[in-house]
Amino acid sequence: MSTLEIIGLRAGITGKEIVRGIDLSVSSGEVHAIMGPNGAGKSTLSGVLMGKPGYEVLAGSATLDGVDLLALPAWQRAQAGLHLVMQYPTEVPGVRVHDVLAEALAAGGRDTGGLDDRIRAEAARIGFDERFLDRALNVDLSGGEKKRNETLQLAVLEPKIAILDELDSGLDIDALRACARRVEDLSNERAMGVLVITHYSRLLAELRPDHVHILVKGRIVASGGPELADELEEVGYAAYTAGDEVEPPAARSALDDLFAL
């Protein structure tokens, strides 16, 4: 059982606080969704947790099974079991996905035997064309192909906790379904903990969250179950963006639906 524990996290870029006090705990096998409008700080939160350069941590902590993530360089956070699927995957000329995965597994003292077969099996599972496997990482791939490539890496590396920053952006509906199901399977079968960041609830139709959190202006302003995502689909973020900490609208009841008829 692993836990990513975020307590009172405040961070930003020099002179601007973007993540303004976040408390969140994600354990093995749980799926937490963070939803929020553009500019809410979702990507900043994921970058700060993974150790993307350029951010300043102002307060709070983030630990994975007690290991202080914020004190480590990004590669050691990965070795500790954290993995980030980036909103905009990086192109790495001259390096194939096989090279990346072989290095990552070996650095963690893990078995690289049969890696080629594992990569091919994962590619088939999410409909990622095998001919892309020999190309340099993400080079000359479409947005959707990059996201499939990222999902493939996640599935081979099997981190304890995965953060998915807008996995849905750039994916067509079939690819979205395939990738979301793959992540859902990893959560169910390998007990991977998932923090999935998205604007839209359509991703969550396949990757069912246990908990949904709404992030506005760097703070979680509401938390609930999957019904919160459905409600957002209906009412949008307007009810949450009026002030920093507003009361969420009352959840719709079966009675409301009856009177709406």
User: Footprint of Mg ion on this chain (CB under 5 A)?
Assistant: 42-43, 87
Choose the one of ligand ADP, Mg ion, none that binds residue 40, judging by a C-beta under 5 to 8 angstroms depending on kind: ligand ADP
CA separation for the pair 226, 124 (Å, rounded): 30
What distance in Å separates the CA atoms of residue 127 and residue 109, rounded to the nearest whole number? Answer: 29
Q: Which is nearer to ligand ADP, 45 or 97 (CB)?
A: 45
Q: Nearest approach, Cβ of 46 to ligand ADP (angstroms)?
A: 8
Minimum distance from residue 41 beta carbon to ligand ADP (Å): 4
What's the closest the beta carbon of residue 132 comes to ligand ADP, in angstroms? 27
Give me 242's structure tokens: 């009026």
Q: Which is nearer to Mg ion, 2 or 87 (CB)?
A: 87
Burial class, 77, CB count within 10 angstroms (exposed 0-12 / middle 13-18 / buried 19+): buried
Nearest to Mg ion by Cβ — which residue? 43
Return the closest-CA partner of residue 112 out of 96, 101, 126.
101
Question: Residue 38 binds what, of Mg ion, ligand ADP, none (CB under 5 to 8 Å, by partner type)?
Answer: ligand ADP
The 10 Å Cβ neighbour count of residue 160 is: 21
Nearer to Mg ion, 42 or 146 (CB): 42
Say which entry of Mg ion, ligand ADP, none residue 236 contacts (CB below 5 to 8 A, set by partner kind).
none
Specify the residue, 43 or 151, whose C-beta has the smaller distance to Mg ion: 43
Tokens 């192109």 locate to 91
CB 216 within 8 Å of CB 243? no
Residues that bind ligand ADP (CB under 6 A): 13, 18, 36, 38-44, 54
Contact call for residues 102 and 112 (beta carbons, < 8 A): yes
